[in-house]
Structures are given as structure tokens and as C-alpha cells.
Structure 1
Amino acid sequence: MSTRHPSRRDFHRTALAGLATLGTTGAGLLASPAARAAGYPERPLTFICPWPAGGTADITMRALCVAAAKPLGQTIVVENRAGASGMLGLRSMAQAAPDGYTIGQIPISVARFSQLGSLPLDPLKDLSYIARVSGQTFGIACQAGSPYKTLADVIAAAKAKPGRITYSSAGMGGATHVGMEEVAHAAGIELLHIPYKGGALALQALLAGEVDLLIDSSSWAPHVLAGKLRLLATLGERRTQDFKDTPTVKEQGLNVVVDAPNGIGAPKGVDPAVLARLRAAFKLAAASPEFTAACDKIDAPLMYLDGPDYAQYVAQTVQKEKLLIERLKLKELMAKG
């Protein structure tokens, strides 16, 4: 699912040019759609974050909402509704009134859960797409005192004792769980998955010694830097800016890449003028100092796409997930719990 993305400098330049156009012509996306939508927004918006407070997604989404509130002229209140690997909050958002006052993060794993039968929602028909904003840096970590110095050590140990090495993730069937199962499948090993209700709790499980490994977006980063955890591998196409000495899974001989970009959406049926205003506001927010600083802090790449392009990306991901579900036998895996 990797694509070539514009540099941060180019993206900032484009966004600032767009802002200047909006300010000088009065006919840009922030003005004309507002008139057609009868003054929207007239009150604060609710943003549903489908992950617990304090996790990497929560931190970046809050920064994004602070930035988007400025061009919208209204506060955006973030509500955390965690559970079911992000699908609980997504379903709540999808069922809200399509008036533009309830929006939220769309985990890309919706493309998987909708096909596994665990989510009564069609991502191609039941959602409105506003923007794709950023990627995630996933990594596999262990405690600093662990006997595992490399990913190869984990693989060797797992072959010696199948199903006994444990790892925590942000939930059953989510990007981290499936990413680790892809790694295990490619390596020919069996690991024992211990799902938690979000990445923050999965991290705490590793820090407390409840599991042997953690796979998560970069919640592990400050603890690796502090010497409490050891980063064994990252799952991107290339090494991360902040952890250049850590090889990717792909570099270590396993053809697995996971980025799971974060996107923003709304219920299906939002007035096109309202949706256009949201798209314009979140385009500016995705290039804002608040959001880019939050992404830099967790080494997350900017991966902006406007709503229509984001919807097309989701449609392509649905097809890729269909093949992944069959290859990893995910329906059987989910049935085992």
C-alpha cells in the first residue's frame, strides 16, 4: 500500500497557496460552500476518536482538530470511543446524523472488518470521506532486558517453542495484529496474540512484563529512547527518521510492509457543500504546525489525500484486504479469539 508522497515543504507551500487564494477571492472552498450550506458550522463539532486517550492516534487527531477548528470558526470536541480495534467508534460515527457536526477518524482496517463480517458497515457506501492525513510508524519492541536482540532471535525462539512467545497489540483484527500475523506467516512461525483495548494498554502490558513483545504505532518510541525497551524492527517501506539504526522487517528478509494511514470522514449523506467545507479545513489542518509537530514527535509521515482520492484509496484497499484475508485465513483466526 506504499505510494510516493510529496515532501513536507511542498505540501506546506501548496496549502499556504490555497489559503491565500481563499482569502483573496472569497470564492474558495471555505467561503462558497459555507454560503450554500446556510452558515455551517453554527456550533461546535464532535470528533470521534476510536482509540483510548493518550495513544499516538489520539494525540495526532487532537492536534489536527485544533488546527481544523481555526478555518471552521468552531471548536471541535474530541470524544474517545475505543473498542473492537477501532470499529466501535467508527460505527458510532457512521450512525450519527449526516449534518456535518459529527466526524471522526476512519481506521483503514474498516476495509478488513467489513469483509470479516464483524462490522455491519460498507466502507464504499456508508461513509463520507474528508481526507487521508498521515501514516503510522509501526514497530516490534521488547523489554531492554529481553534475550531477543534482533528479530531473527525472535524467529529462532518461536521455531523452538511454537505458540509460546506472546505479543500485545491494539486489538483483534486491527492493523497491528494483522501486521504481526503477516510477519509470523512470512517467517513460518506461530506467536500467541494478546489483544488489548488500544495501543496505550498494549504498551503498558509490555512495560509490565505481561507479554514478550509489542507491535504498535510508535507508542514505544520514548521508552526505546529512554532505554526501557528495545526496538527490533519497523514495518515501513524504509527506515524511520528517528530510528535509523533499526532495520525494517523487509530488510530482514520478510516481505511485509504496514503503514495503515489515518483518515477523516463523516456519515454518508452529508450535504456536498458542508463536506467541501470540511475537506478544505482539514487540508489546511493537515499542513498546520500543530499537526506536523505532533506527527514529527512520533515519526509519522504526512500522507495527505483529498476526500475523493482517499475514497479511491479505500476502495483499492478493500480489494487488497480480500486477498490478505484469504492468505492468512483471518476468518478462522478471528474465530479462535
Structure 2
Amino acid sequence: MSVRDDTRIAPTRRLILAGAAALAAPGVARAQARFPDRPIQLVVPWPAGGSADVQLRSIGDIASRTLGQPVVIQNRPGAGGTLGPMTVAQQARPDGYTLTQMHLSVLRRPWMMRTPQWDPIADFTHIIGMTGWLFGCAVKANSPFQTWQEMIAYARANPGKLTYTTSGIGTTNHLAMESIQEKENVQLTHVPYRGSNEAVTAVIGGQVDMVCDSSTWAPFVENAQMRALSVWTAERVPRFANVPTLKELGYDLVVTSPYGVSGPKGMDEGVVRVLHDVMKAALMTPENTEVRSRFDMPLVYQDTQTYRAFIAERVEYEKAMVRRLGLTLDG
């Protein structure tokens, strides 16, 4: 066929493609306009009752009013808070109807495995950054430790005897405690639980000496069932004004572990925009602000593009830290 014949065919092909696109576009618009047309499931990878669970339930309740469909919380704890996100990445359809909390352990844990089971960037569609945790350490009210320094002195004199609990091996708070032990040259025994509420219960019940986790312990400190020894924020927390920060105690550590919401890879960006916008609006309401204030959870809002950039940067940081510290898990 000559070049001239080819030029006659090209416009025809373009017209066909343009016509196909025109026919397809209304269908896409209608599909996006219908979202959501059934309940949305938000997987919380911790037991019910913890600070993240309460905060995300609030987000779901508020978002449901705008979306016209319920946002149903499914608690799926395990594997240091990574079982739920891993299940979403591996099993959920990318249609916007299955979402998960995204937190730093999900970014870190694959590099602790001999064979990573998910890629924190490639296997998810990251939607929005929301908030973080107030972390700290607390003991039962009748504990012999009145201060952090007394606890460290006891641990130094009694290697391995003092027990502490976190929400799992390889979590941000667990690694912070490992760093503290390394700096102080002390040995504590780690007793991981599936979530901070279970950890607090264990301390109050006398099974473990100290909880080092998110602020589920805070109400128990306020009602004098527990005593806080440290908080991990940059500045002291107003309602615990007598409790020192890690920085004040001599550690170059600020731990808030910002988290957000993500879905499985391949989600339609129009659906992502709908979910981002409705969750952002929910995050900024007085209702959710009150929940975050109750747990001293800082606002760490990030839009979709900013959150994706944060995830990519943080994955490299976590990967390098795991390699530097030689952190490994079985499996």
C-alpha cells in the first residue's frame, strides 16, 4: 500500500477511536456517579476499642452520611497490625469497596521477611493521610516505679526481669523500645499483644509490668488506675503535664507514627477522589476532632499525592533501618 493510501486510512481510524471513546465516556461517568452503590468495608488491623479503631469508626460513621452507604469497620488484628492490610492487598478487588488503615509497620514489615509478602507501594492505592498516635509508657498505679529513671535503674539491676508490652513485634513502638534498651544497655522482656487495649488490660491485670503503646492507657492514667512514665511526643502533653517526653529523658526520639487509609492496587482515580474528599471532610469535623483530642492524636492530614510521596520516602527509610539493625522475622 502506498503512503498516500495510508494517509487516507489514518483519519478514518482516528474517527473510529474517537467515536469509541465518546461512547465509552458516558459509561465511565455513570459508573463513577454510582459510587458507592453498596457498603464500603474499612479493615482496621487492631482489636476493637483502641485509639485507631475509635478514630476510624468515627471517620466511617461521618463519611456514611455523605456517601449514602455505610462504611463498615472490620477488625482484623494480627502480625503486628499487618495481617489486615496484607489481606486487602492480596484479596480485595480494586473497586473502592475494600479499604484498610495504612501505618508504618505495613511499610516496614516486608523488609523484615526473607521473602516479602507485599510491596507497600506497588500493591496498594494510597488515598489519604490522617493522623498519628500519642505513644507512651505506663505502669499500674501500685507499681513500685514512680518515675522513668526508677524503672531504668531496676531494669539495669535485674536484666530481663522487667516485662513490657506493645501491639506487636516490629511495630514502631517496639523498635523505639529496642533503641532505648540499646542506649541504656538494659534488657527488658517484650510481651507483644495484638492491640493496645489488650496490652493495657494485661498491665492492669498484673500479667505485664508496663505498656509502651498508643494512648489507650490515657483514660486509666486519668482515673488513677495507671501511672504514665513517659510520652513520646515532641512536647509535653497538656493533660499529662507532669509526664516527661523521651527527649527530656535524654533520647533523641519523637514517635507519632502517622497513618492513613489505602486500598488495593489499581483503583480508579475518580473513586480515589471521592473517597479522599469525603474522608478529608470527616477528618476535619468537630466530631472527629473531639475523638482525636480524646486520644491526643495529632492532625497529620496529607492529600493523595502528598501521602503517596510520603509513603515512597518512608519505605526507603524503613528499608534502610531494617537492614542497619539486622531486624528479621520468621516467614
**TM-score band w.r.t. shorter chain:** 0.7 to 0.9
Counterpart position of 1:113:
109
Cα root mean square deviation, aligned: 1.7
Please state whether the residue corresponding to 2:239 is helix, strand or coil: coil
**Paired amino acid for 1:72:** L
Q: Is the 8 A contact 1:235 1:259 kept in 2?
A: yes
Please state whether the residue corresponding to 1:252 is helix, strand or coil: coil
Change (3 A) 1:92 1:238: same
Gaps of 5+ in 1: 1-32
Aligned residues: 302
Counterpart position of 1:13:
none
Gaps of 5+ in 2: 1-27
- 1:41 maps to which of 23, 36, 44: 36
- 1:219 maps to which of 216, 220, 225: 216
Counterpart position of 2:294:
297
**Paired amino acid for 2:305:** P
**Paired amino acid for 1:146:** S
Counterpart position of 2:18:
none
Query: CA offset at residue 36 of structure 1?
Result: 6.2
Query: CA offset at residue 35 of structure 1?
Result: 5.1
- 2:154 maps to which of 157, 160, 182: 157
Q: Is the 8 A contact 1:130 1:282 kept in 2?
A: no
Counterpart position of 1:17:
none
Counterpart position of 1:173:
170
Aligned equivalents of 1:217, 1:119: Cα separation in 2? 27
Counterpart position of 1:98:
94
Per the normalisation by structure 1, the TM-score is 0.85
Aligned equivalents of 2:239, 2:62: Cα separation in 1? 25
Output one character per residue of 1:272-313: Cα deviation in whole Å (capped at 9) or x when no partner.
111111111111111012211110111111110012111111
Alignment of 1:323 onto 2:315: no
Alignment of 1:122 onto 2:139: no
Alignment of 1:202 onto 2:195: no
Query: CA offset at residue 34 of structure 1?
Result: 6.7
Please state whether the residue corresponding to 2:250 is helix, strand or coil: coil
Counterpart position of 1:12:
none
Per the normalisation by structure 2, the TM-score is 0.87
Query: CA offset at residue 71 of structure 1?
Result: 2.5
Aligned equivalents of 1:234, 1:329: Cα separation in 2? 27
Taking the TM superposition and a 5 Å limit, the aligned residue runs for 1:1-337 are: 37-94=32-89, 95-117=91-113, 119-331=116-328, 334=329
Moved more, 146-155 or 267-276: 146-155
Moved more, 176-185 or 93-102: 176-185
Aligned equivalents of 2:66, 2:49: Cα separation in 1? 26
Query: CA offset at residue 241 of structure 1?
Result: 2.8
Output one character per residue of 1:180-209: Cα deviation in whole Å (capped at 9) or x when no partner.
112222222221100111111111110011
Identity across aligned pairs (percent)? 39
Q: Is the 8 A contact 1:104 1:266 kept in 2?
A: yes
**Paired amino acid for 1:51:** W
Counterpart position of 1:24:
none
Change (3 A) 1:323 1:187: farther
**Paired amino acid for 2:285:** S
Aligned equivalents of 2:148, 2:179: Cα separation in 1? 14
Moved more, 175-184 or 98-107: 175-184
Output one character per residue of 1:220-272: Cα deviation in whole Å (capped at 9) or x when no partner.
11110111111000111111232122110111101122111121011110111
Q: Is the 8 A contact 1:87 1:119 kept in 2?
A: no
Which is greater in Rg?
2
Change (3 A) 1:278 1:69: same
